[in-house]
Chain A
Amino acid sequence: MLTLENLTKRYPGAAAPAVDGLTLTVAPGELFALLGPNGAGKTTTLNCLLGFVAPNSGRALIDGLDVVAAPLETKRRLAYIPEQVNLYGHFSGLENLAYFSELAGHRYPDTELRRFLAEAGLQDDAHGRRVGGYSKGMRQKVGIAIALAKNAKVLLLDEPTSGLDPGASHEFSRLLRRLRERGVAILMATHDLFRAKADADRVGIMRHGRLAHLLTAAELAHTDLEKLYLETMAA
């Protein structure tokens, strides 16, 4: 369970808050897509949840724990896939996965690590190659494998399909479905309206740090999301 209660973040010197009184809940097994243009506050919301920036007011809770009061415990309960997955170039994909998993306190045998990589869509012959020679999409898949291996209750995604080819993107959607079935609460910040409509249980459109629209899956089925998005931006 992920909860934001009136979350506000204003960067020093900024005229307006990046996130302005945002309140939402993502239930276990739910995928919530946050849409919005650059600067709408999507990434700042994720950064508040990750403890990378301090909210000025309001609360961000992971599994009922405040991210400010319990930073270690909350990070243990969440996994994160950044927009640009940067890894250690001297290590192979397999080594990066093993390293980041051990950082999270999980030690897996090689076969299990390879299974995570395969589940994330990384081809077998790439597992042992150094990440320095990987494409952006391949690094993204290792990032997905890292998140899978953490086995977290909450998953934060920041433009996760950026850099993935359509086939891999489709595979990623299937993966998200499996995670939801396992009860993982997923908050995904994205520009990809198609992916949001196809995958999300609910969609929120952010503008100036606030939720301008909140749509359920049922509402999404009858809404021209692109039109609504463009109208919101133009307003």
Chain B
Amino acid sequence: MNAFLALLRWELRRLLRTGTARAALAFLFCAGLAALAATDRELARQAREIAALPDQYEAQVARIAKQFPAGEHAGYVAYYSFLPTWQPAAPLAAFSLGLRDVVPGALWIRLLGLEGQLHESGLGNPAVQALGTFDLAFVVCALAPLVLLVLSHDVLSRDREQGVLPLVVAQAGGLGPLFAARLAVRAAAVAAVCTALFAVGLAWPGILPGPAEFGWLADMLLHLAVWTAAAAAIAALCRSVAASLAAAGTAWVAAAVVLPAALNLAVVAAYPVPEGLELTVRQRQEIHAGWDRPKEETFARFFRTYPEWRDTAPVAGRFAWKWYYAMHQAGDDSVADASARYRANLRARAAATARLAWLAPPVATQLLLSRRAGTDLEAHLAYLDRVRAFHGTMKAHFHPPVFAETVLPVASWRDFPRFVPAAPPAAAGTFAERLPLLIPLGLGLAVAVRALRRPFRPLL
């Protein structure tokens, strides 16, 4: 054990004497800091936006109250009342932003048709979606493996090419402990940089680490272990630096760039999802068609969903708020199947991505990390479900006065339903979800051990 520790000490000294290694580790650290800063900026913007919601809401109420000091018809008040909903970011979003910067974290909801309101805010930021989120999870999943491979691919081949290997083997006897020490030091250096970034990410916003944070760290280290195993296999199999460099480059480009993109394309093609915009347009078309449709027909459809208002007085004039909201309900009803399919197919895409993640460990890790951080698709759909439920609460609150054609006094506006936010659902994931990482880890190590144990490996 002492001999192995001595080897580790020497290998660390050798590593740190190499300018390329120092530069690569510094690059990784700087990239990680930049990712943390970018994530912090985005989360701070979202937090400011959420923190401003109550004041904005009060200002809105005051503005309407000033316009209608004597109160107003419930339909009119509901029309102008935007009620805020939001989903706060979990602390781990600081490391794994996931979908948090491409889907809305806050929505203002009215009594109108819901589907358009859900999706009209989610149309922006396609550029960010195309590039992927630059967060610590990205640095860990994509850049750290690159640095690890750069440092580790030639732990034997460079010695062979420089003619040092025969003397090394003659002195050491076997290659096993030396090889293990070299890889361990390089993996530990990369892991240390990533862990330091993790610590900076905790200290920066003042997050107190708990089981969830340490779980995130453990998954990050598991991911690095997979790439260490890949580097071990490459280093043990390749004789020349050129070959090991080519193998390492190919492995990284395939697993971290090409396969995730290819999997995304395959999943998108296999599970077509109607765009949010398409749902919005269809819903709007249905609402607008309501203006030309006989009121009785609109109400008949509405009463199928809300039979409790069947006995209210029929609309006499050209316009009535209850008719207007019935038209909006018709809009929602017309895309209900598409909306359900939208959510089901999004979940199917997520499930398919998780299955295909067997082919690309970085994808498996990204899924685990964003799930732990509550920034994955499930978290977003959970938020939309809460908004959907809140919209139901709004209907329960406003429908009685709207259908009773009641004037709502200003004093009652304080009693409007308030959205109760919830922390995004986060989960540690199962052992089975880590198999796409554990299996390549075992395979890589097995290949390396087998290659090193081969008697009379050509060393010269």
Cross-chain pairs A/B with CB under 8 angstroms, 23 sampled: A47-B460, A52-B166, A52-B459, A53-B456, A54-B455, A71-B173, A71-B174, A72-B173, A79-B170, A84-B163, A86-B162, A86-B163, A86-B167, A87-B164, A88-B164, A90-B18, A91-B14, A91-B17, A99-B10, A101-B171, A104-B173, A143-B167, A146-B171
Closest CB in chain A relative to B23 CB, distance in Å: 14
> Is residue A27 contacting chain B, with contact meaning CB distance below 8 A?
no
Sort chain B's interface into a size bin: 20 to 34
CB neighbours (8 Å) of A86 from chain B are: 162-164, 167
Instruction: List B426-453 residues whose CB lies under 8 Å from chain A.
Output: none
> Is residue B169 contacting chain A, with contact meaning CB distance below 8 A?
yes
Across the A-B interface, the 6 shortest Cβ-Cβ residue pairs? A86-B163, A90-B17, A54-B456, A80-B170, A75-B173, A103-B171
Closest CB in chain B relative to A72 CB, distance in Å: 4
Closest CB in chain B relative to A229 CB, distance in Å: 27
CB neighbours (8 Å) of B168 from chain A are: 100, 103
**Do residues A50 and B456 form an inter-chain contact, with CB atoms below 8 A?**
no
When chains A and B are docked, how far (Å) is the Cα of A87 from the Cα of B174? 18
Q: From B17, which residue of chain A is reached at the shortest CB distance?
A: A90
> Is residue A76 contacting chain B, with contact meaning CB distance below 8 A?
yes
Q: From B3, which residue of chain A is reached at the shortest CB distance?
A: A105
Secondary structure of the B side of the interface? helix
> Is residue A51 contacting chain B, with contact meaning CB distance below 8 A?
yes
> Is residue B6 contacting chain A, with contact meaning CB distance below 8 A?
yes
**Knowing that A104-B171, A105-B3 are A-B contacts, what are 6 other residue pairs whose CB atoms are under 8 Å apart, sorted by A's residue number?**
A51-B456, A78-B170, A86-B167, A99-B10, A102-B10, A146-B171
| B14 interface neighbour in A50, A52, A76, A90, Cβ under 8 Å | A90
Of A68, A87, A91, A102, chain B has the most CB atoms within 10 Å of the CB of A102
> Is residue A42 contacting chain B, with contact meaning CB distance below 8 A?
no
> Is residue B172 contacting chain A, with contact meaning CB distance below 8 A?
yes
Interface string of B1-21 (1 = CB under 8 A from A): 001001100100110011000
CB neighbours (8 Å) of B459 from chain A are: 52
CB neighbours (8 Å) of B169 from chain A are: 50-52, 75
When chains A and B are docked, how far (Å) is the Cα of A122 from the Cα of B285? 91
Closest CB in chain A relative to B9 CB, distance in Å: 9
> Is residue B178 contacting chain A, with contact meaning CB distance below 8 A?
yes
Q: From A89, which residue of chain B is reached at the shortest CB distance?
A: B162
Of B10, B14, B174, B458, chain A has the most CB atoms within 10 Å of the CB of B10
Closest CB in chain B relative to A93 CB, distance in Å: 14
Of B173, B455, B456, B460, chain A has the most CB atoms within 10 Å of the CB of B173
When chains A and B are docked, how far (Å) is the Cα of A136 from the Cα of B10? 24
CB neighbours (8 Å) of A72 from chain B are: 173-174
When chains A and B are docked, how far (Å) is the Cα of A54 from the Cα of B456? 6
CB neighbours (8 Å) of A82 from chain B are: 163, 166-167
Of B6, B18, B171, chain A has the most CB atoms within 10 Å of the CB of B171
**Do residues B6 and A107 form an inter-chain contact, with CB atoms below 8 A?**
yes
When chains A and B are docked, how far (Å) is the Cα of A163 from the Cα of B85? 81
CB neighbours (8 Å) of A71 from chain B are: 173-174, 455
Instruction: List B162-201 residues whose CB lies under 8 Å from chain A.
Output: 162-164, 166-174, 178
When chains A and B are docked, how far (Å) is the Cα of A107 from the Cα of B10? 12
Q: From B19, which residue of chain A is reached at the shortest CB distance?
A: A90
> Is residue A214 contacting chain B, with contact meaning CB distance below 8 A?
no
Closest CB in chain B relative to A172 CB, distance in Å: 17
